[in-house]
Chains A and B, each alone.
Chain A
Amino acid sequence: MDRRKVLKLLLASSGLTAMPAEWVAAFRSVHAGLGSASAPRILTPRQDATVGAMAELILPQTDTPGAKAVRVNEFIDHIVADWYSDQDRVRFLAGLADVDARTQSLFKKDFVDASAEQQSEILRALGEEMAQAREALATAPRGYRGADPEPDDNFYFMFRQLTLTGYFTSEAGFTQQLREEIIPGRFDGCIPFEARTPSKSS
């Protein structure tokens, strides 16, 4: 269905309770065009594998896809290469090297070669340090609109921000895990969580 037809239907209808997924697709057709899998721009294959493994550990495959399946590693590579400042890029890559250094020192292998339990131990240690970094900011000035100060230069915090963003803004993360819709078609102000409409996505 093309956009003109959809528009006509919309103009003819009022009080929509739902919008067929097909209409959503028609609206978006001209803007589609996300590339297929591409080689990393800044991460080495080894770094890319480390990023993928860490991200999957944070947001694993469940009854919905995990971080690897939605290619969070590609998003992270893109941001580190084209969005981060030089300073943040250096910090991020150093943090990634540190992950392998920690795994080497504890288990005599790189992160990607470690067992799931060993990898989890590394993440727990990173998480504790991130919590301490946040703790150290307890008396730091607040940000815009009273925002909590965050440990923006902590590698693991940077990594988690990118992982969560990459995952929940992916098609599977958005439509399957969050069960959000681009065109909800209506607004309910205050309903039980379970009363939401089932996802219409594939």
Chain B
Amino acid sequence: MAATKFDAIVVGSGMTGGWAAKELTEKGLHTLVLEAGRPIVPEKDYVEHVAPWEMPFRGMRDRKKLLQDQPIQSLCYACEETNAQFFVKDTEHPYTTEPGKPFRWIRGRQVGGRSILWGRQSYRWSDLDFTANLREGIAVDWPIRYADLAPWYDYVEDFIGISGEALGLAQLPDGKFLPPMAMNCAELAVKQAMAKHFGGERVLTIGRVAVLTETHRGRAACHYCGPCHRGCITLSYFSSVNATLPAAEKTGRLTLRPFSTVDSLIFDSNTRRISGVRVIDSQTKAALEFQAPLIFLCASTLESARILLNSTSPGFPSGLANSSGELGHNLMDHIKGGGAKGILPGQENRRSFGNRPNIAYVPRFRNVKEKQAGFLRGYGLQGEADQEGWDRGAISPAFGADFKNAISRPGHWQFTFSGYGECLPNHNNFVEIDKNTVDAWGIPSLKIHCAFGANELAIRKDMAIASAEMLAAAGAISIQPFQDDDPPGFSVHEMGTARMGRDPKTSVLNAWNQAHDIKNLFITDGSCMTSSGCVNPSLTYMALTARACDYAVDQLKRGEL
């Protein structure tokens, strides 16, 4: 019979579960990782080199099938013809929302979770972010500051490998970077124009991205095929499957159990500890139970909240570790949808070569030195620049040999800025268990109540204005600002449902991601976030996870858990 007792159990094998697995096993703990989805074998499952002519719909995706099985998942840009199997079937994973308040919950259930699919942009937080709630009297103060996390950013960056450019900006601390990727013609032009017009306040840099530009810790440099979200046989971008899980495996102390859907955690009211994890075998639907003295919940912001809200007992009638009443609340996602696009005349006889899996980036410049009228906090802008391709020929009335050759050459350079903006924590944005809806395994689903507020909408509007200003400064023509009504969830940066804080009465987790109420429970996925910042969050989740593991193992060895 397979073992049911371990030194530690990690729920989830994605971005943070992979880190917890690596850290805990490397520190000597026999660790069970429970993953609800299927195993992933890179050589079999990765599909990044499938050519368009090998796809039945030539990249246009199986529209009717997606509409039937994955109507929500297929709204995500990364859900393509070859990799839709890395996203859940919406039919098996229902959730509900209020009328008029849509939330897009993008999910990946497989070993590696969404770390296979992520956008790989990796930025540090700064004290501008960690002190924001305190300065503005919003929600609760973070129990940590940049100095607490800086060494852990160093630590995870050293393992992951992040390419990028050091800028010396206080609001976006530099990291340990591999050589930056090159900019293309349009990006170089916009960068120069911005340097000239914005006096260093707004700068364009190459994205800081978890893709290797040189061999790093046994993983090969990027070969610039482009679609990282389909996998990477050379392991050149960071994911659990590509890096942390193999490191954990190497210790000989990892037990990875796919097809293990966690139903709930078992609370022992005598010891006031988690005594076990209830699991439903995803394939057989058999009920199983596993025990360990240390539990890391890394199932993702919404799944971790769901597991805890589904784990009720006389001691915790409204959800485990929820004496504060904040569990499931303060759901945030970066607001996006604001930006501008334009055409940059010139350089039509130049091009780039290769498919760089990275964008250009404008670090936050609002509310950094001077207070901005109209909204609190700020946003970063992603810049996407490329040349018009053959698809511009569809609307042309021309045809014949000359037409064929003309549209086979790249056309004008086009540049699009689009923002990710900070979302304020709000108790009224929350999830609860919807007792009338269960998933394919009979586990009650979430009802999500979430909408952006006035501050977020003001940020979105400013993204469009500032983007158009920068394009104008760069001499762009046909400038089109836009403000699309992208609903929350669509940035796939959802966070905040079990926030960290100093006071057990107003927060779920302490400064070490340890539940205030239950000493042997640690939650290190996005649910721990006390505010949202405006940068892509995965790097911060990973640093918090490694830090929490270090603390937890120390406490375990001291007999404090």
Contact = CB atoms under 8 A, between A and B. Distances in A.
Contacts of A62: 401, 404-405
Contacts of B94: none
A130 B181 CA distance: 42
Given A128-B397, A130-B397, A188 B182 contact: yes
Contacts of A6: 233
A66 B182 CA distance: 35
A186 B224 contact: yes
Interface in B360-419: 390-391, 393-401, 403-405, 407-410, 416, 418
A18 to B, nearest CB: 10
A160 B393 CA distance: 8
A146 B399 CA distance: 27
A48 B137 CA distance: 68
Contacts of A177: 404, 408
A157 B54 contact: no
A114 B225 CA distance: 44
Contacts of B339: 145
A27 B339 CA distance: 38
Interface in A161-201: 161, 164-166, 168-171, 174, 177-178, 182-193, 196-197
Contacts of B182: 187-190
Interface stretch (A39-47, A52-60, A92-100, A101-109): A52-60
B411 to A, nearest CB: 11
Contacts of B184: 189-190
B234 interface: yes
Nearest to A151: B395
A157 B395 contact: yes
Contact of B234 (A11, A31, A131): A11
Tell me if B's interface is mostly helix, strand, loop or mixed.
loop
A191 B443 CA distance: 55
A161 B390 CA distance: 10
A187 B352 contact: yes
A4 B234 CA distance: 11
A195 B221 CA distance: 23
Nearest to A170: B53
B394 A164 contact: yes
Interface residues of A, number: 71
A187 B353 contact: yes
A182 B59 CA distance: 14
Nearest to A2: B43
B220 A57 contact: no
Question: Which of B52, B391, B404 counts the most chain A CB atoms within 10 A?
Answer: B404
A169 B404 CA distance: 14
A164 B391 contact: yes
B351 interface: yes
A180 B480 CA distance: 30
A19 interface: yes
Nearest to A30: B44
B353 A188 contact: yes
B135 interface: no
A201 B514 CA distance: 56
Top 7 closest pairs, chain A to chain B, by CB: A127-B397, A189-B182, A146-B480, A187-B354, A169-B52, A184-B354, A14-B215
25 contacts: A7-B234, A10-B223, A11-B219, A13-B220, A15-B221, A16-B223, A27-B233, A30-B44, A31-B47, A31-B49, A57-B399, A62-B404, A66-B404, A79-B57, A142-B482, A146-B482, A161-B394, A164-B391, A170-B52, A187-B224, A188-B182, A189-B185, A193-B349, A193-B350, A197-B353
Interface of B: 43-44, 47, 49-60, 62-64, 181-185, 187-188, 214-215, 218-225, 233-235, 339-341, 347, 349-356, 390-391, 393-401, 403-405, 407-410, 416, 418, 480-482, 484
